[in-house]
A and B are shown apart, each in its own frame.
Chain A
Amino acid sequence: NAGVTQTPKFQVLKTGQSMTLQCAQDMNHEYMSWYRQDPGMGLRLIHYSVGAGITDQGEVPNGYNVSRSTTEDFPLRLLSAAPSQTSVYFCASSAGTSGARELFFGEGSRLTVL
């Protein structure tokens, strides 16, 4: 029972490098989202998607791109990494298209930008 799978679990980047965080879910959920979690700040929404081909910005979208070509996958791209993007990133999904149902989270991807 995989649920939401994120890769990689850990990554170290140098400033200016680019990379993609992968997220896949096997629950046929329409709604998928990316959050970052920083100490004392709770989770902040980066981008979300209500279905294949549809994405929208969250609270902190700058420096990140997303695409949704299939229902299962929702990758997050860092275009030019900056130290301020050092964080733990979580992918989450839920049934339906409104994000109003129970959210299922992945285990997280811990990113350090030097």
Chain B
Amino acid sequence: KQEVTQIPAALSVPEGENLVLNCSFTDSAIYNLQWFRQDPGKGLTSLLLIQSSQREQTSGRLNASLDKSSGRSTLYIAASQPGDSATYLCAVRPSNDYKLSFGAGTTVTVRA
């Protein structure tokens, strides 16, 4: 069974600092990995989707890397802003199943 872990559970940084969020998974046989953002009381919004054949994906200030062999993905957010405060979740889709496995998320607070 795929286990997805996100450490730390919470993170607080001053505005302008770069954010580094970690996601680890136990089974490297994945199809893709997605990073999501969740604001309090809201649904999830997809940020980046990395296919298993890719090493990284970028969108604006966001960059996600994927190291399938070591079971790790990292989400980098450059020059953080208070508006980046949210919970960030990663989800892994196995290569042989439709069922995504989610991490519990990292809650980020960016202090002005």
A interface residues, Cβ below 8 angstroms from B: 4, 31, 35, 40-45, 48, 50, 56, 58-59, 90, 92, 98-108
Contact = CB atoms under 8 A, between A and B. Distances in A.
B58 interface: no
Interface of B: 4, 9, 31-32, 34, 36, 41-46, 49, 89, 91, 93, 98-100, 102-105
B98 A104 contact: no
B4 A103 contact: no
Contact of B43 (A59, A99, A106): A106
B44 A103 contact: yes
A41 B43 contact: no
A103 B34 contact: yes
Given A4-B43, A42-B103, A43-B91, 9 more contacts: A35-B102, A40-B104, A44-B102, A99-B100, A102-B49, A107-B43, A108-B41, A108-B42, A108-B43
Contacts of B32: 100
A55 to B, nearest CB: 11
Listed residue (B42, B44, B49, B93) with the most chain A CB atoms within 10 angstroms of its CB:
B44
Contacts, number: 58
Contacts of A107: 42-43
A41 B104 contact: yes
A105 B93 contact: no
Given A43-B89, A106-B43, A59 B99 contact: yes
Contacts of B93: 99-100
A59 B100 CA distance: 10
Nearest to B51: A100
A50 B43 contact: no
Contact of A42 (B42, B49, B105): B105
A42 B4 contact: yes
